[in-house]
Structure 1
Amino acid sequence: MIRLTIPGEPVAQGRPRFSRRGKYISTYDPPKSRGYKEYIKQIARQELHIEPLTGSIRINVKVYRSIQKAGSKLTRRKKQDGIIRPTVKPDTDNYYKAVSDALTGILWEDDNQIVEIHVGKWYSDQPRVEIEAEEID
């Protein structure tokens, strides 16, 4: 099992942007998404000194978002304890997409190797993304 923690506020994959250059239209990653994916790559290269996995992969991604300042002490406590979970945007699949894109070529050769996925969102005083990956064949 390979474990990796990305400290800091998680950033979900944004919708692609389009620009026109003469007769041509090109798509590009929003700057915030692109920057976060580069940050994930940097952390992964520092922490993981492995060859990319080559088989079928099971992945578990835990997204810990900051707890908002507004709200009662009881609500804050419930968020810290995982009783209240984030049901707000961005969607969990967009967090997963940012992680899977960033780790392609570092943790696995291609994200099509991922055959089993579990992604969840929680609140925390220490925002981060925790990733666990293992080959299952």
Structure 2
Amino acid sequence: MCEDRPVSFFVPTEPVGKGRPRVSTIGGHARMFTPKKTANYETLISMAAQQAMQGRELLAGPVLMELAIRVSVAASWSKKKTAEALQGLVMPTKKPDADNILKAICDGINGIVFKDDVQVVNVSLSKRFSETPGVTVRVVPLEGKPS
């Protein structure tokens, strides 16, 4: 039976963008690896997604991903600027990039919520300041056959 209910979960930490793969050489052989910060973040995402799935089958068709990214205000900011940021008057145009956070989320839930991130055909994303950093993720199955 195919589940058609959305899957929702919250990743309760400061969002981390997907880091570029690093290359090192061992014994003259090149080895690629994911940066530790990215790997740790993807593990946290995977754990939150597994808990949300509660044993459900993987989503098989096309999906919409909705992300509400919430980042902390810089501790060095004035009370006035902090208040403006929390009201949405100042936007978070600093790192991490929203698209890199999306990549990390997709990689973290690959094989847990859906078979592969190629199934993501629509994305709705917002990035704002908040007193509680984290990412609210909602994966919504869409009607239509996969190609």
Band of TM-score, shorter chain: over 0.9
Unaligned runs of 5+ in 1: none
What is the one-letter code of the residue matched to 1:27?
M
Q: Give the percent of matched residue pairs that are identical in Structure 1 and Structure 2.
A: 31
Pick the structure with more strand per residue.
1
Work out the number of aligned pairs and report it: 137
The offset of 1:66, in angstroms, is 0.9
| Unmatched tracts of structure 2, length 5 or more | 1-5
Counterparts of residues 1-80 of structure 1 (less than 5 Å): 1-49=6-54, 50-80=56-86
Shift of 1:71: 2.0
The answer to whether the 8 A contact 1:9-1:66 is kept is: yes
| Alignment match, 1:132 | 138
CA RMSD of aligned residues (A): 1.2
SS at match of 1:26: strand
| Superposed structure 1 runs of 4+ greater than 3 Å apart | none
State the TM-score, normalizing by the size of structure 2. Answer: 0.88
- Residues 72-97 of structure 1: per-residue CA shift (max 9 Å, x gap): 22211111112211101221111000
Q: Given the two structures, how large is their TM-score scaled by the length of structure 1? A: 0.94
Contact 2:15 2:96 (8 Å CA) reproduced: no
Moved more, 122-131 or 46-55: 46-55
